């Protein structure tokens, strides 16, 4: 119930295309769903996050779509660029306690010019 399942494991997209990464969770108590971007040898950086009271959030080229009934959320990267090539992690957390983040397995995105 604590797991967050992420797919695909790796993704190749052409420059200008749309990158889509999906995540699913089981625990309905989760109420915070962030996405992180990590470059090799660096710590993860928060890209965008959403709460279950909204179905979509957009920040620049990055959009989170959230389906509460299906317990799924996804990251869409519009107009993908070679500089977006990185590993992306979805995560989930719930209120109370220390708000531990439960991470997905990660998706390695390669954007080809």
Which are the contacts of 80, defined by CB distance < 8 A and separation ≥ 6?
A: 13, 14, 15, 16, 17, 18, 19, 61, 109, 111
| Residue 44 found at the interface with another protein (CB under 8 A) | yes
Nearer to another protein, 46 or 78 (CB): 46
Contact between 113 and another protein by CB under 8 A: the answer reads no
Report the residue number, 17 or 52, with the smaller CB distance to another protein.
52
Single residue of 84, 104, 109, 111 touching another protein by CB under 8 A: 104
C-alpha distances in angstroms, 72 versus 12, 67, 94, 105? 22, 5, 15, 15
Q: Which of 46, 47, 28 is nearest to 95 (CA)?
A: 28
State yes or no: residue 101 binds another protein (CB under 8 A): yes
Site string for another protein, 11-40 (x = CB under 8 A): ---------------------x-x-x----
Residue 88 in the binding site for another protein (CB under 8 A):
no
């Amino acid at each position: 119930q604590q797991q967050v399942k992420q797919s695909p494991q790796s993704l190749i997209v052409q420059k200008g295309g749309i990158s889509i990464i999906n995540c699913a969770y089981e625990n309905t108590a989760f109420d915070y769903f962030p996405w992180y971007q990590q470059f090799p040898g660096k710590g993860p950086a928060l890209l965008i996050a959403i709460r279950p009271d909204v179905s979509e959030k957009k920040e620049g080229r990055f959009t989170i779509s959230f389906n509460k009934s299906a317990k799924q959320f996804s990251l869409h990267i519009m107009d993908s660029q070679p500089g977006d090539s990185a590993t992306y992690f979805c995560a989930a957390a719930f209120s109370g306690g220390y708000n531990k983040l439960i991470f997905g397995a990660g998706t390695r995105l390669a954007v080809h010019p």
